[in-house]
Amino acid sequence: MKKILSLVAKYKTWLLALLRPLGMGGILCLAFADAAAIPIPIDPIVAIYIWNDVKHFYLYVLLAACGSALGGLVPYGIGRAGGEAFLMKRIDRVKFERLNHRFERQEFLALMIPSILPPPTPWKLFVFGAGVFEMRVTKFLLAVFAGRTLRNLVTAWLTIEYGPQIVGVLHELAAKHNKTLTAGLAVLAVLGVAWLLWRRRKKRKTVRVD
C-alpha cells in the first residue's frame, strides 16, 4: 500500500492529465473500477481531485460514493449467484457465521460501517456477504452510498485543512495499526449513525407537535 500511495503522489500530475478528458466523471469511473474488481487507492485520488477543485468538493464526494455503490453491484452479484458455497471457499465457518449474524441483526449497518472504514478493511468480503445473504439491491446501494459519502466527506475535510498528503499518511497508519484504528472508527461510525437517527426522530416529533 505504501508503494502504491507513493506512486500516486509521484505521478498525480500525469494521472490528472490522463483523466482530465473525463472531467468529473473520471472519479466516478475510478471508484466504479475500484469497487467492481480492480484495487485502486481511491482515497488519495479523491483527495487530489478535491485539492485541485476545492469549491466543487461535494460533487467529487458524491460521484465517488455513487461509483463505489454501482461498482459494488459486481461482487454483490457474484456473491448472490454463488451463494453460501462461494463465500465458504474464502472464509472459515466461524467467520461465516459471524458475518451471517451481523447481516441478520442489522444488514444496513453491517455494510455501511465497512464502507466507511479505510483499507485494509476487507470491504469486498462484506459486499460478497450482502449478495450471499440476499440483501435487497436498493438497501445495498443506499448502505454503500451512505458509508462512502461519509468516508469521502472526511477525506475532503482532511484534504482542505491539511492538503492531500495527509490521506496517504492516514492510510499508512491504518495499515500499521489496523485493528485499533478500525475499532475506533467503527465506534465513531456507529455513534455518528445513532446521532443522525436521533436528530431525524427529533425533527419528526417537532413537526408533529407543530
What pLDDT does residue 162 have?
85
What pLDDT does residue 67 have?
96
Query: CA of 4: how far to CAs of 44, 54, 65, 72, in Å?
Result: 10, 24, 21, 22
pTM here is 0.75
- Please tell me the total number of residues recorded for the chain in this structure: 210
Chain centroid to Cα 129, Å, comes to 15
What pLDDT does residue 119 have?
76
Contact 5, 175 (CB under 8 A): no
Q: What is the pLDDT of residues 43-69, one digit of tens each?
A: 888 888 898 889 999 999 999 999 999
The parts of the chain modelled with pLDDT lower than 50 are 1-2, 4-5
What pLDDT does residue 14 have?
60
Q: Which is it for the CA torsion 70, 75, 76, 80, positive or negative? A: positive
Cell readout for 174 is: 491504518
Question: Around Cβ 125, how many Cβ atoms within 10 Å?
Answer: 17
- Residues contacting 1, CB < 8 A, separation 6+: 41, 119, 120, 171, 172, 175
- 62: amino acid identity, one letter: L
What pLDDT does residue 191 have?
54
Contact 145, 97 (CB under 8 A): no
Query: CA of 126: how far to CAs of 10, 123, 209, in Å?
Result: 32, 5, 41
Q: What is the pLDDT of residues 11-29, one digit of tens each?
A: 555 655 666 667 788 899 8
Domain boundary assignment for the chain? 2-178
